Amino acid sequence: MTSRDERLTMLGMKGPVFSVTDPEKYRKGLKLLEEAIAPLAIFASDNLITWNRNLSFLHDNFYHEFINDKNIDQKNRAIVWRLYILVYFAQIALKVEGDFMELGVLEGITVEQVLKKINFEESEKNYYLYDLFDWKDDYEHDPHRELKDKNLYSKVKNKFKNYECVKIIKGKVPDTLLKEIPDKIAFAHIDMNHPDPEEGALKMILPRLSNSGIIVFDDYGWWSYSAQKKVLDPIVSDYGLSILELPTGQGLLIKNHGKS
């Protein structure tokens, strides 16, 4: 018989964090915090520090393999909690009418993981991926190292070459949406680190988002990107909706949940 007192194996994780001005002080502070909470395990990664949590994703082989996959850059593995949330809602959106979109794809690491974890191909939906896939010095969004790779676009095309359902659209959002956008949208992941394309994209996505359709905004809760929150909130408010800020820094929107 299983005792009610039998608990999960205690798991923790430490990974990179952002915006630390004194790494040595951060390291010392984290060490002190760990001593203060011992014997509990800590989760400290992606600017999320917490303890005494189940961390359900770390008990799932899929995420366990993800955080230990040395082929994936450490900064991408650090955001495993965001991935867990994204995948959870992508799974739910499989039952919603319409296609999937990601706006801001970079190397396609997140989409690749979503495709691995959920039975997307069986859904007969398409997954539309939008990105500039290049870098010019007058761009205002974050100059990710990967964007300077001249072969980025061909690498991403190659990554998804065996997925007929994946449509890759190179160019500037929202202009590219005027040319190619699904009529009905079940799920969108918006991650462009700049208010202008996010504002333009949201204005085009919301009218096409099905009831119970889901949008995950990657940057919504981050203060450094709070200019995005300022432009996105009024747009969803016009639809009588609001975005939920998650502890991971993501934002979550579910359209007219429950209405048929």
Ligand X SMILES: C[S@@+](CC[C@H](N)C(=O)[O-])C[C@H]1O[C@@H](n2cnc3c(N)ncnc32)[C@H](O)[C@@H]1O
Q: Which residues bind ligand X (CB under 6 A)?
A: 102, 104-106, 109-110, 130-132, 141, 144, 147, 172-173, 191-194, 197
Q: Which residue has the tokens 């989760």?
A: 43
Closest to ligand X by CB, 79 or 254: 79
Q: Is the peptide bond before 197 cis (omega within 30 degrees of 0)?
A: no
Shortest CB 165 distance to ligand X, Å: 18
Name the minimum Å distance from CB 73 to ligand X. 10
Which position has the token pair 């991408």? Answer: 76
Q: Which is nearer to ligand X, 130 or 222 (CB)?
A: 130
Q: Is 244 helix (H, G, I), strand (E, B) or coil?
A: strand
d(CA 124, CA 113): 18
Least distance in angstroms from the C-beta of 189 to ligand X: 6
Contact 170, 132 (CB under 8 A): yes
**Structure tokens belonging to residue 88:** 């959870």
Say how far apart CA 115 and CA 122 lie, in whole Å.
Answer: 11
In the complex, the smallest distance separating the C-beta of residue 24 from ligand X, rounded to whole angstroms, is 28
Q: Which is nearer to ligand X, 41 or 222 (CB)?
A: 222
Query: Which CB, 174 or 213, lies closer to ligand X?
Result: 174
Residue 141 Cβ vs ligand X, minimum distance, rounded to whole Å: 4
| Half-sphere exposure of residue 137: CA atoms within 13 angstroms, side-chain side | 0
